């Protein structure tokens, strides 16, 4: 075997290995990128929960304030009958429905974000798998090319 042929053989091996390594590194980067994006999405879920909790406390404070105002107006008008209690019950019922609606909406948003995070991870894994397959194919093609050069 001549020096030129040996040099071509070494160059082919090195080129194939570098190309395969690049694909493997791309696979690793795709997985890491997907995990980072999913982490951000999961942090959004936590932030959304904290925001919903603060909103809930604000609503409770508003309800208590409104009930105190109804009590004040009733006392000013010198009324303490069933109509005042009916107004309070209606306020509590309306606030309860509003809180349930808000809670349901928050849970739905958190679920959608969670699904998005899972989809991001799946896309990253799929992309990584494609890069790994590409790396294997590069090694196989390189081996076949080298076999044809040697043989």
Which pLDDT band holds residue 5 (cuts at 50, 70, 90)? low
3-76 and 82-150 helices, crossing angle to 10°: 180
The mean predicted confidence, pLDDT, of the chain is: 88
Please state the separation of Cα 118 from the chain's center in Å.
7
At residue 9, the pLDDT reads 72
Which pLDDT band holds residue 143 (cuts at 50, 70, 90)? confident
Mean per-residue pLDDT, 50-76:
91
At residue 97, the pLDDT reads 94
How close are the terminal C-alpha atoms of the chain, in Å? 11
pTM for this structure? 0.71
Which pLDDT band holds residue 135 (cuts at 50, 70, 90)? confident
At residue 1, the pLDDT reads 54
Please state the separation of Cα 55 from the chain's center in Å.
23
150 pLDDT above the threshold of 80? no
């Amino acid at each position: 075997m001549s020096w030129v042929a040996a040099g071509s053989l070494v160059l082919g091996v090195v080129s194939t290995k570098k190309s395969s390594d690049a694909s493997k590194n791309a696979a690793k980067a795709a997985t890491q990128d997907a995990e980072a994006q999913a982490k951000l999405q999961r942090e959004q879920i936590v932030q959304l929960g904290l925001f919903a909790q603060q909103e809930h406390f604000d609503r409770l404070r508003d309800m208590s304030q409104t009930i105190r105002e109804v009590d004040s107006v009733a006392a000013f008008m010198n009324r303490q009958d069933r109509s005042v209690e009916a107004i309070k019950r209606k306020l509590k019922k309306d606030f309860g429905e509003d809180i349930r609606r808000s809670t349901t909406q928050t849970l739905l948003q958190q679920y959608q974000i969670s699904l998005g995070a899972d989809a991001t991870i799946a896309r990253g894994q799929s992309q990584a798998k494609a890069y790994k397959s590409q790396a294997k194919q590069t090694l196989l093609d390189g081996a076949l090319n080298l076999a044809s050069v040697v043989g």
